């Protein structure tokens, strides 16, 4: 090439660097999307399950004794765990998969006795984040979030 001639376009090395940067960015975007998608599935399953528990509690306040049994296959998405051993239940609650609601009061009962009970739902193997449905007195159903080792109100 002569001194006065200018190069146009990209060299092979420059093209490979650009492709590598795009590939890394794409991989990060896919990983981020997968995490958001699984969190959305957890939240959606939890909200659906909580709505079913609320309906049962409301029916019991109306006078009919009712029960809420958590059917893992029918109510929760695959990859979710109910009452995992590695996440503590919210303070003052007892873990349950089946909750009886006392007719006329809506009070939650566990094994025939009045109790404040909770159902904890988390992604399988995840110990840093979970949701809980807490059923107590007078048909009250609360939702809570577990993060950074503490339970808080539903967010």
Return the domain boundaries, the chain. 12-153
Residue 28: partners with Cβ closer than 8 Å, 6 or more residues away: none
Phi and psi at 151, nearest 5°, equal -90, 135
Of 153, 54, 57, which Cα lies nearest the Cα of 109?
A: 57
One pLDDT digit (tens) per residue for the chain, 155 residues: 556 667 777 788 888 888 888 888 887 777 666 666 666 777 887 888 888 888 888 888 888 888 877 765 445 667 778 888 889 999 999 998 888 999 999 999 988 889 999 988 888 888 888 889 999 888 889 999 999 899 998 86
Residue 101: partners with Cβ closer than 8 Å, 6 or more residues away: 56, 57, 59, 60, 65, 66, 67, 68, 107, 108, 109, 135, 139
pTM: 0.70
């Amino acid at each position: 090439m002569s001194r006065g001639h200018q190069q146009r376009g990209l060299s092979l090395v420059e093209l490979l660097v650009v492709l590598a940067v795009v590939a890394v960015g794409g991989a990060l975007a896919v990983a981020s999307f997968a995490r958001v998608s699984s969190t959305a599935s957890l939240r959606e399953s939890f909200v659906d399950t909580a709505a079913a528990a609320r309906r049962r509690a409301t029916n019991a306040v109306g006078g009919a004794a009712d029960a809420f049994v958590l059917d893992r296959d029918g109510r929760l998405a695959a990859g979710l765990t109910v009452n995992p051993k590695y996440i503590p239940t919210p303070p003052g609650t007892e873990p349950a998969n089946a909750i009886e609601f006392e007719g006329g009061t809506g009070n939650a009962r566990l094994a025939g006795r009045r109790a404040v009970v909770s159902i904890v739902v988390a992604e399988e193997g995840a110990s840093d984040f979970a949701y809980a449905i807490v059923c107590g007195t007078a048909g009250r159903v609360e939702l809570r979030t577990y993060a950074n080792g503490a339970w808080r109100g539903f967010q």
